[in-house]
Every structure is written in structure tokens, then in C-alpha cells.
Structure 1
Amino acid sequence: MMNLVERSTITFSTPGDVYNVRPPRIVFGAGTIRGIAAEVTRLGGRRALVVSTPGRQAMGQRIADHLGPMLAAILPEAISQVPIEMARQGRQRAREVDADCLVAIGGGASIGLAKAIALELALPIIDVPTTYSGSEVTGFCGITIDGVKRMHTSLNMLAATIIYDPELTLSLPIATSASSAMNALAHCIDAIYVPTVDPIIALAAAEGARVVVNAIRNVVTNPHDIVGRSQMLYGAYLSGAALTGGFALQHGLAHTLGGSFGVAHGLSHAIILPHIAAYNARFAPAKMETLAMAMAVPDVGNAIFELLIELCLPTSLAEVGIRPADVSDIARITVETDNGLNPGPVTMEAVSSIIEDALRGNRPRQR
């Protein structure tokens, strides 16, 4: 029997530019970090600036050791939410050491800082992700300016090469692994229903959701298993590919919580994800049904809420320091910075209701 898609005229368009565009080279596998020098040479680089957080400085040094004479310097100063002041300092440091390429090692903070440097200097980037945020795949970057995290898009920020080495993720703490996985899952869900997403990328979103949900359970059960870590890193790649198609309210609200209220990035995504999935299910039922089938669950919002409990992650914004008095400001900033791609209306009333439920740790509900 012919299904509805086969019986209808297919029409779609994508915006072009940075949307749905992925890095041209992916190197995936255990031990692949040992080839970092060859990857720099492949790009024509001779002086690489290594970007890391203070907590990943040892990994930055490991990269430096592999680079040898091609190391320009290590910049171990990246912090979450990419403050514009840090971006400016990073650009200045890149100029001082005459860097001709960037190597980012770590999670979203390191990768985000490398993007912010490249946004202005147009240096090629090699990303070496050690968490599951998936941001290494995109040309998008949230930069915090005057206390508000604002999204920037540019092909200058699209990585030239990504090296996925699951050995580097074996030491990632369980709690961080779990919240980072929820960040990845948020990418898959937020991309599935935006009008800017390419049909192929939508398939990556559904497959990414399936992989992430299964893989994170394996990682939490056996964090030192290289197979489970490889699967989770693969899910992160798929989630990053999904994110290239665009993003909506999930990311807008998470960025407000992180950029303006200091909530850790992975947790900001995790806590609000069940509620936004439930909200958008009313306005994009077919897309959410695709995700439900991929995840093998009857209801995406409630399944994610149950997953948070299973992974021992917070289920309420109150647990991460948000107060009832913050609700109106969170909603206002989110509405003011909305990009217009969410299937459900992004109004003060709707966003405030979502925040209130997340604040109290209520189970997600259809609105």
C-alpha cells in the first residue's frame, strides 16, 4: 500500500549557507588522535593554536606533544557560554603567536571558543570533542554578550576536520556523560521539526535520537567500555549533524538559562527537554511521532522525563538554582531572542508555562 508521502507532491526548500552543511572530513576511531599532526599538515597548517579549558589542559598538552614543532601555543582558558571578552582575548592570542590553524580539544566550551576566534580570523579548525554536545559539527555558536547568549552563524566557524577518538571520553564522569548525552538528544529533537532542516538531516536526527538513548544507558552502566563510548560518540556526531539543520525553542530557552542564569549547558537542555518535546508535539505531531518510533517509546516527552530519573539527573530547575522570581526574566529573554523556527508559538504565556513546569519538576504535559 502506498503511504501518504508517496501519494503527495513533495515540496521543500532549505536556506543554504551554513544550514545543513557539515565538516568535509571526519576521522572516527580509537587512537585517531595520534594522527593530529598529519591532519594539521593536510590543511596546510604549520602553527597550530591548541584551545582547551583549564580542566582539559592535560589533554591539550597531549595534543601539543603529538604536534611537536607545529605547536604555536596552548590556550587553556576556555569557559562555558563563550563570553565575548574571552573570544576577543583568544583572537588576540592567535595573532600574537601567528597561528594559522586552531585545534580545539574538549567539550562545547573549547569548541565554542575556537569557533569564536575563527569567526573573525577565518582560521581552519580541527575539533577533537571529548563530550557529546555535537557542536563541533556545526557553523553555529552561542556567544554571550552583555549577559545574553546570542547565536552566531558563519561558515568560518565550520570545522575543517573532526577527530572522534572514544579513548578520550573514557574518563568523562558519569554525571557529565549523562547530561552531555541529553544535550545531544535535545539537538535531535529540536531539529526534527524546524522548517530549515534538510530531509537527509532529519533522518540523522531520528537515528541520532535512537543511538543516544541506547548508548547513554550502556555508558552509565559501564563507563570504561570502549564500545559503549564509541556508540555514544557516534550518537553525538549524528546529533551534531541534526543541529546543522537548525534549532528552535529548546535551544533558545537553554541558552537563556546558561548565558543569563549560569545553568550548566547540558543540564539546561536536559531539564527543559521533556517539557518542550511535549509542547511541540501538539504542533508537529507527525515529526514527533517519527522520533517516538525511532526511540521505541509511546510519548517522547514522558520518556525523556523517565530517562532523566534513570540517569540520576535533575528533573527540576529549582535543583540547579533557578527561583520562581526568575521565571519572567527567563521567559522575556527567550521570547526576545527567538528565531521564529519553533512549530509552537513562542509567547510569554507559553514559555512561562514551560518554565514553571520545569521549575517544579512536574511531569511534561500536553498544552
Structure 2
Amino acid sequence: MRFTHDTLAQQVRFGSGTVGDALAEVTAGAQRIMLLCTPRESERAAAITAGLPVALAYHDVAMHVPIEVADRARTAAADAQADLLLCFGGGSAIGLAKAVALTSSLPIVAVPTTYSGSEATSVWGLTEDGRKTTGVDPRVAPRAIVYDAELTLGLPVATSTTSGLNALAHCVDAMWGPRADPIDRVLAAESARALRDGLPAVSADPSGLPGREQVLYAAYLAATAFSSAGSGLHHKICHVLGGAFDLPHAPTHAAVLPHVLAFNATAAPEAEARLAAAFGADGAVAGLAALYAELGGVRPLRDLGMAENDIDPAVEAIAPLVPSGNPRPVTSADLHRILSAAWSGAAPGTV
């Protein structure tokens, strides 16, 4: 056994009902905070940060972080003389804070209200001319994360489900990403176990905290493993789809995941066995299918805004990005089958 594992330097504060006290502590010393959140979250974010030195509340947030949106936020941060970026919300707000930090080196404190996991990674993404570019840079990793499951209580069950399945996609890619190691696989397996228990609990009792705490805990573990392992085949596919066709982030991951898992599982027996055990099933593909069925299924790509004639150009864009260390070789024909099945909603491995 020989591997190198890098761990991000982050403080994680986890506790339901603790966001106010935790924020006061992790932002201590900041004098001019730039608060980034969507307009929908603005009122709640303002109430939670009322006692902090917020110099600018910024709400120009967009999915997939278009470059023009990032440029406006960078200018606003400079004009406000911000010394700390505080992002409140889901992946879009966190992604925008990362885009600002990438060019300014400003520290980030993240308060996630979904299960995207972006707060736990050093991965950034920007979209320009329909192409989403991602990279890894330690400057964009939040120095502190405040997890408070009470902040997710307003997240509808359907949104919670797709956001949680996005976290599960991090688990799967962490099993065989280009830098995957034994530590990543342990974290990913525990995350998958917590998601398997937590997501049905959220569905059964949306106002209860135990299920949401499990999913939030799982989202952190999954993203930590993914940040270390790097983007595998699944994320390469979804980043192209999101950037090129402006598809919703989490639902796209949920639609594609079963098909990538079915494609790779037979060529990665150790990872397959770990995921099967986490799902409490005889096989990883069957376990994931059972979880999807219990959660009511997900929408195929055709229902998310992707046209069938988008499949060919998507394959062309994805093919050069396929990780060389994927458990099995990937041809353009393979990609076409994966996308066709995800587009139509066919059973994994049947197209």
C-alpha cells in the first residue's frame, strides 16, 4: 500500500441551532465582510448575520458561475474593500465566492443550506461561451464551514433528494477518481451509508432534524473524499452538460449517476463492494436503484431541458475529458449509450 493523501485545512462547525454563535467565532477579526447569497436567501442571511460587520450584501448569483457574473462580483468585492467572503446558500453562492477568492485570495467562510458539498472542496468552476471550466486551487477552499441542519428545513423534499444524490455522485467518483486513495474510499463509503439512511428519513419526515443531519454530515464526507480523489467520469460528463446546455446542477447529477455507476462497477470490484455494503444490497447498481425507487425516482435529462440532438455534441465535448485512469476504457460509443440512457430514463446498463 502506497499513496499520498492531501487534507484541506478547514474548521468544521456542526450543530443544529448553532449558526449564530458559530459564525461570530469563525469570522472574528474580519472588519468588512462581503455576504454572498441569492435574492431568495437574502432576508434569512441578513437576519443570521445581523451582528457581523457586513460591508456588502451581494445577490447577483447564477448557476454554473458565468464568467461575467464572476467578474462583477470580483469588482464589487474590491470596491467594498472586503476582507472576508461569507457565502450563504447552495453551490451557486459558494461557487461565486470561490470565483472571487481565486483572483483575490480573500478567505471564505461557508454556510451551506443544501447538500452540494462545494464548501468542502478546493474545486472551482466557471462557465464561458457555453463551456464550463473547472480547476483546483487551495485559495478557493473555505477556511471554515458552519453546518446547521435547521437551515435545511425549508428545502423541499424533491430538492433535498436531488441535492443529496449530487452528494452521492461525489461518493461514487471518489471511489475511482484520478487521485483516489484508501482514505477517500472509506470516507465515500461512510457518506453513502449516511445518505442511504438519511435521504429516506428526510422524505418521510421533512420537518425532522435527524435525517437532515445525516445527509448534511454525508455531504461533507462525500465532498472531502471527492476533493482529494478528483473528478471522475461522472463529473466530467455533468460539467459538460451543465455548461453547454444550462441544465440544473443537482438534477443532472441525479439523472446521470446510475448509468456511470453501471458502466464502471464491473471493472472496479473493490469500489463496487464498498458501495454495495453501504447501500445494504447485494450489488452497488441494485442498491442505488432501490434507493432511487424509495425516493420516488428522478427526472431523465430530456425532462431537464436537454434535447435528443444535443447528445452527439455532448459526446464530442466529453470524449477528450475522460480521465485516463477510469476503471475501464471509455469510447465515444460508450458515452453515447450512457447519455442516451440518462436522456430517456432507461434502466442503467440496458441501452
Q: Would you say same fold, with TM above 0.5?
A: yes
**1:177 counterpart residue number:** 160
**1:53 alignment partner, one of 7, 21, 38:** 38
Which amino acid in structure 1 is aligned with residue 134 of structure 2?
M
1:208 aligns to 2:208 (yes or no): no
CA apart distance, 1:321: 2.4
- The normalised TM-score by structure 1 is 0.91
Counterpart check, 1:299 vs 2:283 = yes
- The change in CA–CA distance for 1:224 and 1:66 in structure 2 (over 3 A counts) is farther
Which deviates further from its counterpart, 341-350 or 109-118?
Answer: 341-350
Supply the RMSD in Å over aligned alpha carbons. 1.6
Identity of aligned residues (%): 37
Give the 3-state SS of the residue equivalent to 1:78 in structure 2. coil
**Distance between the aligned counterparts of 2:287 and 2:246, measured in 1?**
27
Distance 1:23 1:351 in 2: 36
1:237 to 220, 225, 237: 220
2:47 corresponding residue in structure 1: 62
User: Pairwise mapping of residues 125-140 of structure 1 onto structure 2 (< 5 A)?
Assistant: 125-140=108-123
Matched, 1:152 2:138: no
The Cα shift of 1:112 comes to 0.4
CA deviation string 1:132-187 (max 9, x = no partner):
01111000022112211111210000110000011101111111100000000000
Aligned to 1:270: 254
Q: Distance between the aligned counterparts of 1:262 and 1:38, measured in 2?
A: 38
Aligned match of 2:302: 318
Shift of residue 61 of structure 1? 1.1
Q: Secondary structure at the match of 2:220?
A: helix
Aligned equivalents of 2:112 and 2:328: distance in 1? 32
| Partner Cα distance (2:41, 2:111) in 1 | 12
Q: Spell out, residue by residue over 1:65-84, the C-alpha distance to the aligned partner (whole angstroms, 9 max, x if none).
A: 131xx111111121111111
Q: What residue identity is the alignment partner of 1:251? A: H
Q: Report how far residue 277 of structure 1 moved.
A: 0.3
The reply to whether residue 98 of structure 1 matches residue 77 of structure 2 is no
Instruction: State the alpha-carbon separation in 1 of the partners of residues 339 and 64 from structure 2.
Output: 20
Residue pair 2:279, 2:288 contacting (<8 A) in 1 also? no
1:335, CA displacement in angstroms? Answer: 1.6
DSSP 3-state at the match of 2:34: strand
Aligned residue number for residue 332 of structure 1: 316
2 CA distance for matches of 1:357 and 1:271?
Answer: 9
1:264-300 CA-to-partner distances (Å, cap 9, x unmatched) read 1111110110010011112212211111112211222
Report the counterpart of residue 31 of structure 1 in structure 2.
17
Looking at structure 2, the residues matched to 195 and 98 of structure 1 have their Cα atoms a distance apart, in angstroms, of 38
Whole-Å separation in 1 of the counterparts to 2:324 and 2:7:
20
Most deviating of 287-296 and 92-101: 287-296
Normalised to the residue count of structure 2, the TM-score between the two structures is 0.95
What corresponds to 1:5 in structure 2? none
